[in-house]
A = this chain, B = another copy of it.
Amino acid sequence: MSASGSATAPRRRPPAPPTRAEFLAQKLAEEIVAGRLMPGTPLEEIPLAAAHGVSRTPVREALRRLESSGLVETRPRRGAVVARPEPRRLREMFAVMAELEALAAAGCARAMRPAERRELEALHKRMAAMVRGGELLAYRAANVAFHQALYAGAHNGYLAEIAQDTRRRLAPFRAAQLEAGGRLRQSHEEHGAIVTAILRGDGEAAARLMREHLALTEAAWGRMMALILGEPEQNQPVS
């Protein structure tokens, strides 16, 4: 076979020719979720266009998408800001996320395939090492993978979609650090209980344990949320 191997390959298109608007929406979403664009930050079209070297048109379309996805709020002739839900709404979202993840956990107990179960267990064991080593960064990354494994294992793509979406919208309020100190060890133990319940096929227990796990997590988030939500009404415009 020849060099580039494109001989019989069905010549896949470049993974979808990303339009500028699409690219921008993704980029802005990342910045919001990562907490670099704080809730309440104004998103003005011209500065954004300039900052990314495009015209206002793709910026506007990106903002429209983010608006529908809940990451930004737009008031008709008054511009867009990074979404800053009311404290009450935030608690509601958290409660729903807990139920969605409990649902996913129960689904895993029922529907996970043997390979998936092995991988979940393996991942959890790898995370144990990170806890012992205090590798906070690695643990955070693995934690994302852990929850995604649960989404995938339930074999319900729509559930995974809205659960992950809810998690994304809450992400700006976890901001940088979470699970600091002892909470990390405790959190991992809670994961362990969930994994065990799933592996033995006990969906009820898995769901309950997940709910409890997230209830404790919420308490840990409380301070961060209060901090961000307590900010003055007017934030600084986008860089």
Contacts and interface: CB of A to CB of B under 8 A. Distances in A.
Main secondary structure on chain A at its contact with chain B?
Answer: helix
A157 B92 contact: yes
A166 to B, nearest CB: 8
Given A16-B76, A89-B157, A158-B166, 8 more contacts: A17-B76, A61-B61, A68-B69, A89-B158, A92-B156, A92-B159, A95-B158, A162-B166
Contact of A96 (B19, B66, B162): B162
Nearest to A85: B158
Contact of A67 (B60, B65, B103, B157): B65
A93 interface: yes
A22 interface: yes
Nearest to A103: B99
Contacts of A159: 92, 95-96
Contacts of A162: 96, 162, 166
A60 B65 CA distance: 11
Q: How large is the interface on A (under 10, 10 to 19, 20 to 34, 35 or more residues)?
A: 20 to 34
Contact of A76 (B19, B77, B92, B95): B19
A21 B74 CA distance: 13
A158 B96 contact: yes
Interface string A131-157: 000000000000000000000000011
Nearest to A86: B157
A167 interface: no
A82 B99 CA distance: 30
Interface string A50-75: 00000000001100111111000000
A159 B99 CA distance: 10
A162 B92 CA distance: 11
A66 B61 CA distance: 12
A18 interface: yes
Nearest to A60: B61
Interface string A199-217: 0000000000000000000
